[in-house]
Structure 1
Amino acid sequence: MNAELKRLHSPDVYDLENYQPENLEMFGFLLQAMVGPEGKEGEESFDIEVCTPRWLEETYGIDEVVICRHHLIVRGYNYQRIVGAIKDFLRDCSG
């Protein structure tokens, strides 16, 4: 069985497709990817922090060691590239 991205949601960003961060170099927000079996009903929510390298640095500090599990690190906000990256990741997921 292959995984499929059903939809994206963010409690922090009302309109993901048209979102423009106030600071293009430093932003972070929670993105929830609803993923389920390809071509079938049902989904599970996976939380991802979408953020820039500068946001990571400001949030965790320059001297911290951060294991970036559940983070999607971007250089700028581009909705289509984020969707594409998640779909590419899911192509390798099966169960």
Structure 2
Amino acid sequence: MNAELKRLHSPDIHDLKLYQPEVPEKFGFLLQVMVGPEGVDGEESFNVEVCTPKWLEETYGMNEVVIGRHHLIVREYNYQKIVDTIQNFLRECTGENWIEVAEKVSRIGKWEFEDYID
């Protein structure tokens, strides 16, 4: 089974394709990467903080140690580069079932069912 990017969404940005940060070298926003099994309807959310190094410095301070899990660090906002990077990452997310695939996808973003216990 393979992962497929279904769509991208941000509660912070109305139109990701047209977005231009106010300060191009310093921004951060939540990106919801909607992924599901390839060729099958349905999707699940994987949350990623897209940010620049300067945003990290301002948000966390120069002397802090930051665990970078679920962050996509960019030098500039380029929608197509972000899409291409995510799609290239997803090509490596395969498994015998959706749980195996989703656990691999969750390395890039926090899976909505991460740590879920039935």
TM-score normalised over the length of structure 2: 0.79
Instruction: Tell me the alpha carbon deviations over residues 25-72 of structure 1, each in whole angstroms, 9 at most, x when there is no partner.
Output: 100000000000011111110000000000001001111111111100
Aligned residue in 2 for 1:25: 25
Q: How many Å apart are 1:94 and its aligned residue?
A: 1.2
Give the corresponding residue for 1:48: 48
SS of 2:17's partner is: helix
* Alignment-derived partner of residue 78 in structure 2: 78
The whole-number CA distance in structure 1 between the counterparts of 2:4 and 2:62 is 36
Take 2:48 and 2:78, find their aligned partners in 1: how far apart are those partners? 15
Distance of 2:59 and 2:6 partners within structure 1? 30
Unaligned runs of 5+ in 1: none
**Uncovered stretches (5+) of structure 2, i.e. residues with no partner:** 96-118
SS at match of 1:57: helix
Note the C-alpha offset of 1:84.
0.3
Higher strand share: 1
Q: Which residue of 1 aligns with 2:105?
A: none
Q: Which runs of 4+ in 1 moved over 2 A?
A: none
The TM-score normalised by the length of structure 1 is: 0.98
Between the two proteins, the alignment pairs up a number of residues equal to 95
Matched residues in 1 for 2:93 and 2:65: separation?
27
In angstroms, what is the RMSD of aligned CA positions? Answer: 0.6
